[in-house]
Each structure stands twice: as structure tokens, then as C-alpha cells.
Amino acid sequence: MQTDTYFALEPLLLERLRTIPSLAVISVTDADDKTLFNTVEPTAVVAFQGDSRKDSNDFAVLLESRWSVSLFIRGHGAKERSVEEGQLLMSIVQALHGWCPGDGFGSLELQGTDPESYDGGTLREYALLFSVDTTLYTRGGR
């Protein structure tokens, strides 16, 4: 697959995550505070977190791209984490870590997580951070 857009991985990530039962999946470009704070079902939000150059030549550049998948899940006011939260986080890791989206991409690697966030009410956020080598062809071909 030749990457014809800088964000070619995003629709592939969304499609892959949508295979997880009981999980709504959206791009950060489709998310807003109203969407997230009014969500009833667990929601994964995919966001591009930047990249850095690893190598290049006259025809291509190899980047290490970073993406986050933030799980927003509504609790029941309890400060303890639920079993469901841990299971959904593992489902996301199992769906993405080691997965190769296709030609032009390496395998995704889990890099870690951001500290969990808790709004003091019932909404928690867990951000999983992934990296992937991405080849961008700069001269229209290989």
C-alpha cells in the first residue's frame, strides 16, 4: 500500500479497533467534549501524536509515527477500576501490538500509557501509546 496521505494509518486503526465487541471507536477529529462526556458505552479515541525521522533517501522517508488510543469509560462513581476496564485495555493491546497494517508500515508496538485521568465523577480515561515505522514515498513511487 502506497501511503497517499500523511495519515493513512488512521482509517486502518479505526477499522481494526472496531472489531472489538462493546467498544465504540472514533477519530479525535470526530470527538468533542460533548461526545466524550455524554458517552454511555466505552469509547476508544484514536489520535496522531507526531513522528520523528528515522532514515531517508531521495525517494522515501522512514518515520517513527506515534498514535494514541484513549479509552473513555464511564464508571459508577466508584474510585476502583472495574474488571471491564482492564479487559477492554487488554483487547486494545491484543488488537494492535504486533499488528502490521500492510505495505509501507511496520508492526505496531505498545510504548506505554499516559497516567489515567479521572474526572472526579464517573468518566475515566486511559491512553495507550503506540509507535509504528511508516514509509512515505516522496517521488511518486518506489
* Domains with residue ranges and CATH for the chain: 9-137 (3.30.2000.10)
**If you average pLDDT over residues 83-103, what whole number do you get?**
94
Give the chain's radius of gyration (CA, Å).
Answer: 16
Do residues 70 and 52 make contact, with C-beta atoms less than 8 angstroms apart? no
Buried b (16+ CB within 10 A) or exposed e, 6-36: eebbbeebbebbeebeebbbbeeeebeeeeb
pLDDT of res. 91 = 98
Residue 1 has pLDDT above 50, yes or no: no
State the Cα–Cα distance between residues 28 and 31, nearest whole angstrom: 5
Dump the DSSP string for 65-120: EEEEEEEEEE--S-SSPPHHHHHHHHHHHHHHTT---STTB---EEEEEPPPEE-S
Residue 142 has pLDDT above 60, yes or no: no
Residue 82 has pLDDT above 80, yes or no: no
Quick one: pLDDT band at residue 44, thresholds 50, 70, 90?
Answer: very high
The whole-model pTM stands at: 0.86
pLDDT > 90 fraction of the chain, expressed in percent and rounded = 49
pLDDT > 70 fraction of the chain, expressed in percent and rounded = 82
Residue 110 has pLDDT above 70, yes or no: yes
Buried b (16+ CB within 10 A) or exposed e, 94-119: ebbeebebeebbeebeeeebeeeeee
pLDDT of res. 108 = 98
